Copies of this chain bind each other. A is one copy, B any other.
Amino acid sequence: MTENIETQKERATNWFTQLRDEICAAFEACEDDVTGPNGSSELAAGRFERSEWDRPEGGGGVMSVMRGRVFEKVGVNVSAVHGEFSEQFRAQIPGAEEDPRFWASGISLVAHPRSPKVPIAHMNTRMIVTTKGWFGGGGDLTPVFPIDADTTDFHGAFKSACDAFDPGYYDKFKKWCDEYFYLPHRGEARGVGGIFYDNLESGDWEKDFDFTQTVGSAFRDIYPEIIRRHMDEKWDEADRQAQLIKRGRYVEFNLIHDRGTKFGLMTGGNTEAILMSLPPLAAWP
């Protein structure tokens, strides 16, 4: 918390919006460039459609959704909201017990590719302000058919981002991700991981903001690269069925375990924006 907190809020919100624009442009470029079985003439290159929503208690957001030929459904949401935490949440939120008011801004993305050969991905970064202030976020990859090189490069991108700031970040945030994106009732991980961090408040806001930007940029660069490696590959109905089952697990995680989803639904968030993470089609055969 500093004297220029309002400037910080504005800078963070502007960054999340800029990152949204950069990621959407990179995804639309994939839609243009695909030449494989899913880029054939029956489907047109997709484009994001935006819709704004207001939160009655204060603030709002913009949903950007694309239903294309590489991305069967991808949502990129930005929002900046403020209000007061209800009684039941105050004890769980740092700094909210003294004063329930909060401000939060962030970007949240889930991509469900059409091709079973292209991994599902999630990325989210946010800045939260109560009587305390912190950053959180991360990204994780959920391939239907894991490929070592993709896993290595996805983690490598986040490791580089982390190592530029603190030699301990990557191991800590990778472990956090592995623990968080785990389905205990299935005894399996959601995917091949990535990084996850929360309550990041090193005491140096500029450093923490810079780190959060670096994490977002790392995702913006590596995920489209992984998409391009596989988007022209052939796949068959058995691959598709495996993908629909993997997506079912994704639904299970998001609805049973994901704190952001639960939190959003229980605090009267925008249902359409929160559940944009759910896949266009999923199977429990």
Bound complex: CA of A256 vs CA of B262, how far in Å? 8
Are A265 and B256 interface neighbours, CB within 8 A?
yes
Are B281 and A275 interface neighbours, CB within 8 A?
no
Are A280 and B285 interface neighbours, CB within 8 A?
yes
Interface stretch, picked from A51-59, A194-202, A247-255, is A247-255
Given contacts A185-B265, A271-B185, A281-B244, contact A251 B255 (CB under 8 A): yes
CB distance from A83 to the nearest CB of B (A): 17
Q: Which of B252, B271, B280 contacts A255 (CB 8 A)?
A: B252
Bound complex: CA of A240 vs CA of B280, how far in Å? 14
Would you call A283 an interface residue if the criterion is a C-beta within 8 Å of the partner chain's C-beta atoms? yes
Please name the residue on chain B nearest to A269 by beta carbon.
Answer: B185
Please name the residue on chain B nearest to A251 by beta carbon.
Answer: B251
For window 106-148 of A, CB contacts with B under 8 Å fall at none
Bound complex: CA of A157 vs CA of B282, how far in Å? 34
For window 231-285 of A, CB contacts with B under 8 Å fall at 244, 248, 251-252, 255-256, 262, 265, 271, 274-275, 278-285
Are B185 and A278 interface neighbours, CB within 8 A?
no
Task: Give the bracket for the number of chain A residues in contact with chain B.
Answer: 20 to 34
Which residues does chain B contribute within 8 Å of A278, judged by CB atoms?
Answer: 248, 284
Are A279 and B271 interface neighbours, CB within 8 A?
no
Are B252 and A285 interface neighbours, CB within 8 A?
no
Are A275 and B265 interface neighbours, CB within 8 A?
no
Given contacts A255-B255, A255-B256, A256-B265, contact A282 B281 (CB under 8 A): yes
CB distance from A274 to the nearest CB of B (A): 8
Q: Which of B184, B271, B274, B285 contacts A73 (CB 8 A)?
A: B285
Q: Which of B186, B265, B271, B274 contacts A271 (CB 8 A)?
A: B186
Q: Which of B67, B274, B284 contacts A275 (CB 8 A)?
A: B284
Please name the residue on chain B nearest to A67 by beta carbon.
Answer: B285
Please name the residue on chain B nearest to A274 by beta carbon.
Answer: B185
Which residues does chain B contribute within 8 Å of A285, judged by CB atoms?
Answer: 67, 73, 280
Q: What 0/1 readout, one digit per residue, does chain A (203-224) give for beta carbons within 8 Å of chain B?
A: 0000000000000000000000
Binding site for B on A (CB under 8 A): 67, 73, 184-186, 244, 248, 251-252, 255-256, 262, 265, 271, 274-275, 278-285
A248-B278, A255-B255 given; 17 more Cβ-contact pairs under 8 Å:
A67-B285, A184-B265, A185-B265, A185-B271, A185-B275, A244-B281, A251-B251, A251-B255, A251-B282, A252-B255, A252-B275, A255-B256, A256-B262, A278-B284, A281-B283, A282-B283, A282-B284
